């Protein structure tokens, strides 16, 4: 029989033997606890980081980012080499882009994928070689395309017929050949542990496979464009290779047909490699994934009697996700009695959906640990919530935390390196937290935190004490 408490516990969540333990897959490799039980990241106590930089604080472990970037490059290099081709790994900057991270990944041999003019400027300002940048986006403006062509972006991933004509006009005015890939929808959509395969996917990106041949034919007519191949991204937080295999097989059908009209030197299979957010997530090592994905593409090519193209991949989350740990200070706790008779402890922290929107947006699961000390109380089912004026402002939906967790304690939420800072916002006029990199006992700010003064500085009503109607558009 279920006890009252069991009824609010999701099936996957088990009571830990020790609510202070650090499940290996969700923390950076450097995470440990010191003799006092406090969390230590890259040799620095979480309490020291919080005292120095305040909370909330996003901590990024540099070695973790570098190690994972290197592992992806080496794994795909090896798998491609085994099959007689080459592979390039682009870091998908949408997961988290700032100058320092861009330099780390480039240093580890990765290229950079950007998907807006803003991300492009960050990469360029960081010194990323324009030729090693891939430029994505379903609605690139003429200005963004002009800038990309002018600076010599290596590859533009074309997403629509309108974009092809925009590029035709832009490249006609400048004397360069712009390399492009054509993004296609394979109809395979990966959903975490499973994947769905449909003929027609109802979404905004890319060309449906039946329309892509005409798009490529048009690109081949345009003197300023060099068609390099197809691109396909099937989704995010994917485990296993089944989705990649099915998608590659469908895309190779078109790839083979296109070879009849000219060269198709490349194939980009996108990103989406899953990471662990809680102890139940068990991602396959990248060496295995890379080997199996490249082998599947090689088999598909052999079956069609075509050469294996140069391959590229675009991991984002898998490079930075587990390198990030968010530190919060606990403000209040509250035990809420539910109708079922169960009790849920609400632990309120000093951030929330402004620094981590993923739980509210996607129902994402995270985990959490007491960071300033080791707890001594029994594991207590808890929900970590933020300070925003919204009941959906949940950071960690279900977690067992020590029952003695109290106001003033530091709480750490791991696996927040990807799509947390990137999606952060100023809801309720909460300033965005600083981002600090740690390595070998040293820490440094890589993105400064916002202040309330930053937020007020955008409020035009405060500049003059009155709204300036003179600047407005007059009929
Ligand atoms: N390449 C393309 C074309 C993409 O659209 C994406 C992600 C990636 C690569 C990188 O995917 P990754 O390896 O990071 O899974 N905000 C959502 C994820 C949106 C992903 C969008 N595209 C989240 O927080 O889960």
| Angle formed at CA 43 by CA 37 and CA 47, multiple of 5 degrees | 50
Predicted pLDDT of residue 469: 57
SS (H, E, C) 50-115: HHHHCCCEEEEEHHHHHHHHHHHHHHHHHHHHHCCCCEEEEEEHHHCCCHHHHHHHHHCCCEEEEC
Confidence tier at 1 by pLDDT (50, 70, 90): very low
**Is residue 274 scored above 90 in pLDDT?**
yes
Res 394: pLDDT = 98
- Tell me how far CA of residue 38 lies from CA of 22, 27, 126, in angstroms: 12, 15, 35
Q: Which residue has the higher pLDDT, 7 or 224?
A: 224
pLDDT (average), residues 167-192: 91
Residue 7: pLDDT band (50, 70, 90) is confident
From the CA of 316, how far away is ligand 1's center (Å)? 7
Over residues 365-378, the mean pLDDT reads 98
Instruction: Specify the residue with its C-alpha closest to ligand 1, atom 6.
Output: 271
The C-alpha angle with vertex 99 and arms to 231 and 371, in degrees rounded to 5, equals 100
Exposed / middle / buried, residue 470 (Cβ in 10 Å: 0-12, 13-18, 19+): exposed
**Active-site residues: which are they?**
389
Q: What is the pLDDT of residue 466?
A: 52
Q: How far is the CA of 471 from the centre of ligand 1 (A)?
A: 39
Band of pLDDT at residue 438, cut at 50, 70 and 90 = very high
From the alpha carbon of 237, which atom of ligand 1 is closest? 15
Sign of CA pseudo-dihedral 243, 113, 226, 164: positive
Cα of 304 vs centre of ligand 1, distance in Å, is 30
Instruction: Answer whether residue 192 shows pLDDT above 80.
Output: no
Q: Whose CA is nearest to atom 20 of ligand 1?
A: 236
Q: How crowded is residue 146: how many other Cβ atoms within 10 Å of its Cβ?
A: 18
- The domains spanning 4-61+322-457 and 63-320 adopt the same CATH topology: no
Least confident range from 137-146, 275-284, 466-475: namely: 466-475
The domain covering 4-61+322-457 belongs, at the CATH homologous superfamily level, to Lyase, Ornithine Decarboxylase; Chain A, domain 1 (2.40.37.10)
Give me 27's structure tokens: 């923390």
What are the structural domain ranges in the chain? 4-61+322-457, 63-320
The pLDDT value recorded for residue 278 is: 97
Q: What angle do CA 184, 190, 191 make, to 5 degrees?
A: 145
Give residue 4's pLDDT: 55
What is the token pair recorded at 151? Answer: 């600076």
Tokens 């929900």 belong to: 383
- What is the mean pLDDT of the segment spanning 384-392? 98
Q: What is the pLDDT of residues 299-344, one digit of tens each?
A: 999 999 999 999 999 999 999 999 999 999 999 999 999 998 999 9
| Nearest-CA residue for atom 23 of ligand 1 | 419
Average pLDDT in the 247-263 region?
97
Amino acid 471: pLDDT: 60
User: Rounded to whole angstroms, how far apart are CA atoms 52 and 326?
Assistant: 15
DSSP for 381-410? EEEEE-SSSSTT-EEEEEEEEETT--TT-E
In a mutational test of the pocket of ligand 1, which residue from 271, 356, 415, 422 has the highest number of ligand atoms less than 8 Å from its CB? 271
Residues lining ligand 1, CB < 6 A? 92, 94-95, 136, 233, 236-237, 270-273, 314-318, 358, 362, 418-419
Among the ranges given (89-98, 231-240, 433-442), the one the predictor scored with the smallest mean pLDDT: 231-240
Examine the pLDDT at 472 and tell me if it is beyond 90.
no
Query: Torsion angle of alpha carbons 163, 166, 167, 170, nearest 10°?
Result: -160
Å from CA of 16 to ligand 1 middle: 31
In 3D, which of 75, 133, 46, 96 has the Cα closest to residue 327?
Answer: 46
Kindly report the protein residue whose alpha carbon is nearest to atom 5 of ligand 1.
Answer: 233
What mean pLDDT value characterizes the chain?
95
In terms of CATH architecture, what is 63-320? Alpha-Beta Barrel (3.20)
Using most ligand atoms within 8 A of CB, pick from 93, 190, 312, 317 the residue to mutate for ligand 1: 317
Rounded mean pLDDT of 340-356?
96
The answer to whether residues 298 and 308 touch, using CB atoms and an 8 Å cutoff, is yes
Q: What angle do CA 80, 274, 435 make, to 5 degrees?
A: 105
Atom of ligand 1 nearest to the CA of 273: 13
Share of the chain above pLDDT 70, in %: 95
Check if the beta carbon of residue 433 is closer than 8 Å to that of residue 368: no
* CA–CA separation, 129 and 110 (whole Å): 11
How many angstroms is it from 331 CA to the middle of ligand 1?
Answer: 33
């Amino acid at each position: 029989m279920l006890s009252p408490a069991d009824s609010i516990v999701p099936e996957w969540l088990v009571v830990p033997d020790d609510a202070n333990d650090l499940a290996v897959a969700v923390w950076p490799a450097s995470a440990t606890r010191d003799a006092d039980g406090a969390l230590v990241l890259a040799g620095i106590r979480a309490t020291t980081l919080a005292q120095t930089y305040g909370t909330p604080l996003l901590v990024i472990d540099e070695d973790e980012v570098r190690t994972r970037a290197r592992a992806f490059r080496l794994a795909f290099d090896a798998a491609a080499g085994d099959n007689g081709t080459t592979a390039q790994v682009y870091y998908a900057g949408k997961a988290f882009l700032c100058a320092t991270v861009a330099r780390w990944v480039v240093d580890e041999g990765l290229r950079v994928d950007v998907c807006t003019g803003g991300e492009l400027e960050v990469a360029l300002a960081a010194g990323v070689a324009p030729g090693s940048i891939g430029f994505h986006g379903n609605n690139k403006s003429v200005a963004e395309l002009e800038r990309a062509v002018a600076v010599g972006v290596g590859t533009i991933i074309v997403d629509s017929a309108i974009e092809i004509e925009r590029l035709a006009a832009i490249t006609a005015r400048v004397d360069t050949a712009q390399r492009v890939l054509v993004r296609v929808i394979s109809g395979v959509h990966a959903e975490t542990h499973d994947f769905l395969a449909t003929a027609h996917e109802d979404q905004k990106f890319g060309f449906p496979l039946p329309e892509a041949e005409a798009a490529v034919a048009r690109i081949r007519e345009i003197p300023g464009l060099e068609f390099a191949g197809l691109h396909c991204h099937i989704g995010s937080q994917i485990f296993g290779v089944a989705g990649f295999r099915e998608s590659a097989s469908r895309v190779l059908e078109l790839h083979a047909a296109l070879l009849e009209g000219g060269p198709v030197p490349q194939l980009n299979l996108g990103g989406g490699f899953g990471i662990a957010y809680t102890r139940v997530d068990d991602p396959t090592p990248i060496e295995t994934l890379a080997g199996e994905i490249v082998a599947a593409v090689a088999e598909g090519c052999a079956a069609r009697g075509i050469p294996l193209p140069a391959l590229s991949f675009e991991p984002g989350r898998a490079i930075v996700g587990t390198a990030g740990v968010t530190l919060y200070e606990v403000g209040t706790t509250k035990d809420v009695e539910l109708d079922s008779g169960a009790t849920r402890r609400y632990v309120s922290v000093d951030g929330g959906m402004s620094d981590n929107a993923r739980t509210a947006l996607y129902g994402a699961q995270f985990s959490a640990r007491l960071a300033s000390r080791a707890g001594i109380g029994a594991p207590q089912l808890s929900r970590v919530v933020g300070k925003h004026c919204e009941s959906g402002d949940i950071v960690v939906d279900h977690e067992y935390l020590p029952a003695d967790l109290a106001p003033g304690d530091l709480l750490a939420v791991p696996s927040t390196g990807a799509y947390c800072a990137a999606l952060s916002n100023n809801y309720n006029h909460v300033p965005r937290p600083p981002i600090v990199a740690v390595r070998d006992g040293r820490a440094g700010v890589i993105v400064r935190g916002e202040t309330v003064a930053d937020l007020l500085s955008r409020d035009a009503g405060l500049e003059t004490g009155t709204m300036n109607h003179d600047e407005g558009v007059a009929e």
